[in-house]
Amino acid sequence: MPSTTWKDSEKKIARRVFEAALQSELAEIMAKLKASAANAKWPDDMWEIQAYLAHAQRDIESKYDYRYSQLELVFGRLLRERRIEEQDLNGLADEKLANILRIAGL
């Protein structure tokens, strides 16, 4: 069961980890977009790029939910995807960290 009470120090850690992971993933998407646009040769290539961006947007919007009730799930997924590391979460309560690790292991 996710913990819903977050101390101020945990909120700062969570925000830092969340934003770093989000910005890193957005940078990957931007790099792929630029490479795809540079390599586009045919009009149909535009639609492939648009489809990629639509998929990436849905993925980002479903993954990155900064509600405290959802953060353990978010961090579990990010750990599983190797977008963050366990050490990034140092300072969170033991119960939260245990829940995140359990979710990451699913």
Residue 39's domain comprises 12-104
DSSP, collapsed to helix, strand or coil, labels residue 60 as helix
Residue 3 lies in a domain: no
**CB neighbours of residue 96 within 10 Å:** 21
Please report the pLDDT score of residue 3 as a whole number: 58
Tokens for 7, please give them: 């101390």
pLDDT along the chain (106 residues), means of 10: 82 99 99 97 96 98 97 98 98 97 93
Please report the pLDDT score of residue 99 as a whole number: 97
> What count of residues does the chain have?
106
69 sits in which H/E element? none
Residue 82 lies in a domain: yes
Tokens for 89, please give them: 């979460």
Residue 7 lies in a domain: no
Which letter does DSSP use for residue 1 in this model?
Answer: -
Please report the pLDDT score of residue 2 as a whole number: 60
Structural domains counted in the chain: 1
Please report the pLDDT score of residue 40 as a whole number: 96
Contact, 26 vs 60, CB < 8 A? yes
Please report the pLDDT score of residue 42 as a whole number: 95
